[in-house]
């Protein structure tokens, strides 16, 4: 049996927490093409492990003896609700969020980059700092853990007069990486966002936490884009390889096309031109797959260029939004150039996108303002 804890929360609240968190899991815990099921995810939850780091007998009988998701959730809630703490629930919730990989993450930048240039504080120190910073603003529970080189924060901000009623929308997840000046959080309400950014600024000792024009579902790619922009010399590639950040699951079912069958007698007359295109593309984007951005938006505030419409004033600003969406917009731009469907050279706001750490770009006339976001 799991050991009894002294800081056990109210039984009804614990049951609600476990029901919500376990209910969001599916028998196939990952949707990213892996074969990991709920049992392998639960095997990493420390509450269910014994001294030998394996399931205790009762937990094993529940997990492998349940035939439906409803039965699994019901039996686990009944088994764990008596002694599980909020920290236990938070650890399970973080496991599920990392496994699913379908949360939308927003990037933030610390105003003073020296704030986390070195190693991060210990999990316990970080939790205490966050609790002190949040205490005047909102009722809360905080859990912090370090996994695969990144520090993960689970913040349940349940302020209000209704008591501690657990709702998934009240929880904000955050992740930060040492040697960078970036923190990534899931999207939340404006009130919680203000409390969160204030707490992060106080915790890391900086004057401000700025929201970046960078968001998406693939946390691994967002971190890579941020590292390529502001990491200390030599750390970008190293840190990206060491981190086990979740990637977004692919949309739909990937289609595997059969390789083309070429006649050995055929001669490519444009082989030289194709090789030159490949060299230009590799020089601009590199040879490895690009970070995954599922949406890139350009906002134009420029004077109209092209055939002048009679009703348009030549001095009037032309405002327009152009949005590119797909499984990987950056790879899409690269493929357009490779296929000869985009004029080379590409404008800087397209060719340098993988180094800009943003997927919202505002274009203005140079005489009025510079490109911003």
202 and 307, same domain (yes or no): no
Q: Note whether 112 and 202 are within 8 A (CB).
A: no
205 and 334, same domain (yes or no): no
Q: Is residue 250 part of a domain?
A: no
Give the number of domains in the chain: 3
Residue ranges in the chain assigned as alpha helix (H): 11-24, 38-42, 57-65, 69-80, 86-100, 123-134, 190-204, 219-230, 235-242, 271-285, 329-338, 348-351
114 and 237, same domain (yes or no): yes
Annotate 323-370 with three-state secondary structure. EEECCCHHHHHHHHHHCCCCCCCCCHHHHCHHHCCCCEEEEECCCCCC
82 and 126, same domain (yes or no): no
Task: Mark which of 242, 263, 291 sits at the end of a domain.
Answer: 242
Residue numbers of the domain that contains 70: 11-100
Output the tens digit of pLDDT for each of the chain's 373 residues. Answer: 444 433 444 667 778 888 888 877 654 443 334 445 677 788 888 888 776 667 778 888 888 888 887 888 888 888 888 788 889 989 999 988 888 778 899 999 987 654 455 567 789 999 999 999 999 999 899 999 998 778 999 999 986 555 677 888 899 999 987 777 889 999 899 999 999 999 999 988 888 899 999 999 888 888 888 877 654 444 444 444 555 566 666 555 444 555 566 666 766 667 777 787 778 777 777 777 788 888 999 998 887 766 665 566 666 777 889 999 988 888 888 888 777 787 778 888 888 888 888 888 898 887 654 444 4
Q: Is residue 308 part of a domain?
A: yes
Q: Note whether 77 and 15 are within 8 A (CB).
A: yes
Does the reported pTM lie above 0.85?
no
């Amino acid at each position: 049996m799991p050991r009894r804890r002294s800081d056990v929360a109210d039984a009804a609240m614990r049951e609600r927490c476990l029901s919500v968190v376990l209910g969001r899991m599916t028998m196939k815990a990952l949707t990213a093409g892996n074969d990991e099921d709920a049992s392998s995810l639960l095997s990493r939850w420390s509450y269910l492990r014994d001294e030998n780091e394996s399931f205790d007998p009762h937990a094993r009988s529940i997990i492998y003896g349940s035939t439906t998701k409803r039965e699994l959730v019901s039996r686990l809630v009944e088994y764990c609700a008596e002694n599980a703490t909020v920290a236990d629930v938070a650890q399970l919730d973080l496991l599920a969020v990392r496994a699913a990989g379908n949360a939308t993450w927003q990037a933030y930048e610390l105003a003073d980059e020296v704030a986390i240039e070195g190693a991060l504080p210990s999990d316990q120190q970080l939790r205490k700092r966050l609790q002190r910073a949040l205490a005047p603003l909102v009722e809360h529970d905080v859990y912090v853990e370090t996994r695969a080189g990144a520090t993960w924060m689970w913040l349940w901000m349940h302020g209000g007069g209704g008591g501690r009623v657990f709702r998934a929308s009240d929880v904000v997840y955050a992740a930060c990486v040492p040697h960078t000046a970036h923190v990534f959080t899931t999207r939340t309400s404006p009130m919680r966002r203000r409390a969160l950014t204030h707490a992060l600024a106080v915790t890391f000792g900086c004057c401000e936490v700025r929201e970046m024009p960078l968001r998406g579902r693939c946390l691994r790619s967002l971190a890579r884009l941020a590292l390529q922009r502001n990491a200390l010399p030599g750390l970008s590639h190293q840190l990206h390889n060491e981190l086990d950040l979740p990637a977004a699951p692919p949309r739909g079912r990937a289609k595997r096309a059969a390789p083309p069958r070429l006649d050995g007698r055929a001669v490519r007359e444009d082989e030289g031109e194709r090789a030159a295109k490949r060299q230009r593309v590799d020089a601009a984007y590199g040879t490895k797959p690009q970070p995954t951005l599922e949406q890139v938006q350009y906002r134009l505030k420029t004077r109209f260029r092209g055939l002048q419409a009679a009703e348009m004033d030549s001095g009037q600003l032309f405002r327009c939004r152009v949005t590119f969406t797909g499984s990987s917009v950056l790879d899409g731009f690269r493929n357009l150039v490779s296929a000869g469907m985009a004029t080379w050279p590409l404008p800087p706001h397209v060719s340098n996108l993988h180094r800009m750490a943003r997927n919202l770009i505002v274009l203005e006339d140079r005489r009025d303002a510079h490109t911003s976001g």
